[in-house]
Structure 1
């Protein structure tokens, strides 16, 4: 996830939010926040690879987060950036294909790329997985998925295509919908589309929208998921005070927290989830729930 703003209408000054409610330490009787491995356990294995999913499982982390984009020939793949330069050897393999945008490569071409050596030589065999492959690995470990639809403006119809893959892989049945799947995006339009296409899917809106706008977003989302630097106890309490699309208080999953002190701070704010590259560090920093 990028720390860029969603849009002017979905970003509020922190001071505005914190004035609305007092700053409680946490909701009374609330459980410890869920720990979500950002792009898999990406501090320990190359992000958004099957190896990062495996590492999260090895650490005992139930939830993983990933990023979904679309290839030239319509395959959904798990990669964060809209180009392949940072996390693959695309420049070396395809030197004449600048700027190496995901949407300009076929799935077969992307499958040729080394998606791990940039992280370390031990991961030279890592590849950019398709969403189907990724879902299979998450299911193998009996994990749960926070799926981010990336750059939806580049990929018209990606919401329906994502839901189709999820359905084909058995992830739109009752047990998965109840407790194992959340679909999120920085794009409010994308989140709304997912909700309209499959109302039973739990959704999250990335960013820090103004408190005054929460009621509008709550019609189609269940979470507001901001950067940790943009939240306070008052803002979290304001979000919790609004009922989301499935008749429960809106939740807050915050990102990207990688140290014990910050994890304890945002847990004190009452957040429901913490997205982190170092899920073991965050988990161990939180009191046993």
Structure 2
């Protein structure tokens, strides 16, 4: 009888070793398997802390341990790839005019830091190659093809930069290419079939249907929408279509919290620190 009782006690103890992690910890903290990891994407670098799309912003994002830096890629008059968001240089430099009207030499003479703070005076607009060579292997790169209709052939140029560095292989899981121009996404996917691609979706896609999501999923791995129309239902439908969802752009903690609750896979933010306030994050 004692032997049977001992066996029963041992069985209970062994079962407890496997069942304890399923319960919430003291203080209401979520269990290990309930913790949610959200990919932290520094929007144009850590652009809440340094001038966007500059090496200073990308360096700050690396320092803050972001998972990815998001880069806006456009092309100069002489066919060089550079990082800048607007199609003109007016807002983020001391120059005026369209990006495509400048040669690389001309555009790198502009001050791309003083508008943000005198601390960053003299910061240059970097080339895409400079960014790739500096940060590959250190942080993920979310590459946005910006206004590609203005720059015929930009998809091929971006592809060439990556292929020359053997960054287009299936085992490279730290590169994503996205665009609001979905035709451009399809072109890029044909050139780089082993690199994940994403479709960016502004407010005009707030009523996206399941059929449209399935159409995107034929060539895209991500559906990356404006945060203002993201909810749990959308997240579930995107997942059902076989895609992940990274929402943009977070500039307030409460908006990051809302996206976390909705279950997004990634958050694109000017302030990487907002994403680290979630349970289970770094």
TM-score w.r.t. length of structure 2: 0.83
Q: The residue matched to 1:184 in structure 2 has which SS?
A: strand
**1:205 counterpart = 2:199:** yes
Q: Distance in 2 between matches of 1:29 and 1:194?
A: 36
2:106 maps to 109
Q: Which has the higher contact order (CA 8 A, sep 6+)?
A: 1
The alpha-carbon deviation at position 259 of structure 1 amounts to 2.2
Q: Give aligned pairs, total.
A: 244
Which of 67, 74, 82 is residue 79 of structure 2 equivalent to?
74
2:64 maps to 59
- Deviation per CA, 1:251-284: give whole Å up to 9, x if none: 000001122222121111111000000001222x
Runs of 4+ in 1 over 6 A off after TM superposition: none
- Deviation per CA, 1:177-209: give whole Å up to 9, x if none: xx2000000011011111111211100000034
The alpha-carbon deviation at position 157 of structure 1 amounts to 1.2
Q: Distance in 2 between matches of 1:259 and 1:170?
A: 37
Q: Distance in 1 between matches of 2:34 and 2:271?
A: 26
Q: Distance in 2 between matches of 1:73 and 1:104?
A: 9
Select the structure of larger CA radius of gyration. 2
**1:45 counterpart = 2:50:** yes
2:272 maps to 279
Gaps of 5+ in 2: 1-32
The structure with the greater share of residues assigned to helix is 2
* Aligned 8 A contact 1:50 1:137 in 2: no
Q: Distance in 2 between matches of 1:30 and 1:169?
A: 36
2:154 maps to 158
Gaps of 5+ in 1: 1-27, 92-99, 243-248
Give the alignment's Cα RMSD to 1 decimal. Answer: 1.5
The alpha-carbon deviation at position 41 of structure 1 amounts to 0.2
2:222 maps to 223
Matches within 5 A, 1:103-252: 103-139=100-136, 142-176=138-172, 179-207=173-201, 208=205, 209-242=208-241, 249-252=242-245
2:26 maps to none
The alpha-carbon deviation at position 134 of structure 1 amounts to 1.1
The alpha-carbon deviation at position 174 of structure 1 amounts to 4.1
The alpha-carbon deviation at position 234 of structure 1 amounts to 0.5
Q: Distance in 2 between matches of 1:30 and 1:87?
A: 39
TM-score w.r.t. length of structure 1: 0.81
Q: Distance in 1 between matches of 2:195 and 2:66?
A: 22
